[in-house]
């Protein structure tokens, strides 16, 4: 399991979130919507005390179930909303448990489009119990319009055939793997879970569209020539809802390298029946086509496959088949091994 201590954090832009966390799962029955909770469990386990789910939930992180009061007695300082509904809404059924956490002495941390501070019962309870609300999806003020200016240092961006198939995991794994080799690499978070894990970053999808590429430029500033920023991608250029976010991140990141993330077996865009998943080759082609605008030298370093639903033999087979087909290193970072080392090699060349 990844070691959170290996993920570098830039203390100067730390959001100073109160930890450890109790992870709130709501009434979620779809694992893909709980990726914040899973990401924190896997990459920041030292800061996760347990989970709190409503009666209808079927998803679990495997962490110890506990109430906010129990978690507070065990030392938790905040409850993190670890699930994201489409559109980032907070259903009314979540309000009582959120207020319960505040009453138990926990702060609240969330990364949804709806701000905790805009929910009257939550805001009122925070005031009453003297607790803080952290809306980490709210971008910093005064983001400039993107300039397209070439910055110093090197950049790698993870892109995808869809949402929710490992772009954050892959970026974290590559940053960790390169750091383990003694190289100068930094994970850069572009979404709420990544921000919780890294302790800093900008939720690109929450930035006003006119400024989204400017926000991506802020995310990976000028750096030493040998430094590599490993930037967490968002969405997909082939996603009917979120492609604009992906393009802003691509243009603003001006990556030298990108890694395509894909989940073998997924055939349709998640939540969009009728939208066929693009091929890995289509993603490579359009990413180069669009990415050339701000970095003429952009190229694909390899492919990251999420093989968690396959057995070892099937995973090895699809990794080998994909690598032969696209003529690039292909690996599942969760499985690691020689394949992943070859992918890391490609990220350093």
Nearest to 225 by CA among 150, 167, 124, 127: 150
Q: Is 148 in the site for a copy of itself (CB under 8 A)?
A: yes
**Of the candidates 231, 261, 262, 270, the residue with the CA atom closest to the CA atom of residue 249:** 231
Q: How far is the CB of 263 from a copy of itself (least distance, A)?
A: 19
Ranges within 280-309 binding a copy of itself (CB under 8 A): 286, 289-290, 293-294
For a copy of itself, the closer CB: 282 or 341: 282
Stretch that binds a copy of itself, among 80-88, 96-104, 122-130, 179-187 (CB under 8 A): 80-88
Residues 89-108 interacting with a copy of itself (rule: CB under 8 A): none
Based on the shown chain and the rule CB under 8 A, indicate whether residue 213 belongs to the binding site for a copy of itself: yes
Stretch that binds a copy of itself, among 62-70, 99-107, 236-244, 327-335 (CB under 8 A): 236-244
Residue 132 or 272: the one with the smaller Cβ distance to a copy of itself is 272
Q: Is 168:335 a contact under the CB 8 Å cutoff?
A: no
The β-bridge partners of 302 are: 259
Which residue, 283, 315, 302, 310, is CA-closest to 341? 302
Of 147, 160, 168, 166, the C-alpha closest to 216 is: 147
Could you give the CA distance from residue 101 to residue 80 in angstroms, rounded to a whole number?
A: 10
CB of 276 to a copy of itself, least distance (A): 10
CB closer to a copy of itself, 228 vs 286: 286
In the complex with a copy of itself, the residue whose CB is nearer, 134 or 238, is 238
Residue 153 to residue 138: CA distance in whole angstroms: 28
Contact with a copy of itself (CB under 8 A) among 86, 96, 121, 221: 86
Tell me which residue has tokens 């359009």: 286
For residue 242, the tally of other CB atoms under 10 A from its CB is: 17
Instruction: Based on the shown chain and the rule CB under 8 A, indicate whether residue 44 belongs to the binding site for a copy of itself.
Output: no
Nearer to a copy of itself, 43 or 238 (CB): 238
| Minimum CB distance to a copy of itself smaller for 87 or for 130 | 87
Among 237, 303, 318, 319, binds a copy of itself (CB under 8 A): 237
Contact status: 325 vs a copy of itself (CB under 8 A): no
| Identity of the residue, 181 or 292, whose beta carbon is nearer to a copy of itself in the bound complex | 292
C-alpha–C-alpha distance, residues 199 and 196, integer Å:
5
Reduced to 3 states (helix: H, G, I; strand: E, B; else coil), residue 67 is coil
Q: Does 209 bind a copy of itself (CB under 8 A)?
A: yes
Is 140 a binding residue for a copy of itself by CB under 8 A? The answer is no
Ranges of beta strands (E only) in 220-328 are: 228-231, 257-262, 299-305
Residues whose CB is less than 8 angstroms from the CB of residue 6 and which lie 6 or more positions away in sequence, other chains included: 176, 179, 180
Tokens of 183: 């190289």
Q: Site residues (CB under 8 A) for a copy of itself? A: 86-88, 113, 144-148, 204-214, 237-238, 240-245, 247-248, 251, 269, 272, 274-275, 286, 289-290, 293-294
């Amino acid at each position: 399991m990844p070691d959170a201590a290996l993920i570098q954090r830039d203390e100067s832009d730390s959001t100073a979130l109160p930890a450890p966390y109790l992870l709130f799962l709501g009434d979620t029955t779809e694992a893909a919507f709980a990726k914040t909770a899973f990401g924190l469990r896997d990459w920041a386990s030292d800061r996760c005390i347990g989970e709190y789910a409503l009666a209808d939930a079927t998803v679990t992180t495997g962490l110890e179930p506990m109430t906010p009061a129990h978690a507070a007695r065990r030392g938790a300082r905040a409850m993190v909303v670890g699930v994201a509904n489409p559109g980032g809404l907070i259903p009314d059924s979540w309000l009582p448990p959120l207020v319960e956490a505040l009453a138990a002495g926990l702060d609240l941390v969330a990364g949804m489009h709806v701000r905790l501070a805009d929910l009257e019962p939550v805001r009122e309870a925070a005031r009453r119990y003297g607790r803080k609300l952290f809306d980490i999806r709210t971008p910093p003020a005064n983001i400039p319009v993107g300039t397209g200016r070439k910055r110093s240092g090197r950049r790698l961006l993870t892109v995808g055939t869809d949402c929710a198939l490992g772009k954050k995991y892959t970026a974290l794994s590559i940053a960790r793997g390169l750091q383990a080799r003694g190289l100068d690499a930094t994970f850069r978070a572009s979404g709420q879970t990544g921000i919780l894990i890294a302790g800093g970053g900008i939720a690109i999808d929450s930035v006003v569209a006119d400024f989204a590429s400017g926000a991506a430029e802020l995310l990976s500033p000028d750096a030493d020539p040998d430094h590599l920023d490993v930037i967490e991608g968002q969405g997909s250029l082939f996603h009917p809802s979120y492609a604009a976010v992906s393009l802003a991140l691509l243009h603003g990141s001006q990556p030298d390298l990108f890694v395509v993330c894909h989940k073998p077996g997924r055939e349709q865009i998640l939540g969009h029946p009728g939208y066929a998943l693009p091929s890995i080759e289509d993603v490579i082609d359009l990413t180069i086509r669009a990415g050339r605008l701000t970095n003429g030298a952009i190229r694909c370093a390899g492919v990251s496959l999420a093989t968690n639903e396959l057995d070892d033999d099937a995973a090895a087979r699809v990794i080998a088949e994909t690598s032969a087909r696209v003529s690039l290193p292909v690996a599942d970072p969760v499985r690691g091994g020689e394949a992943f080392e070859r992918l890391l090699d490609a990220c350093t060349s």
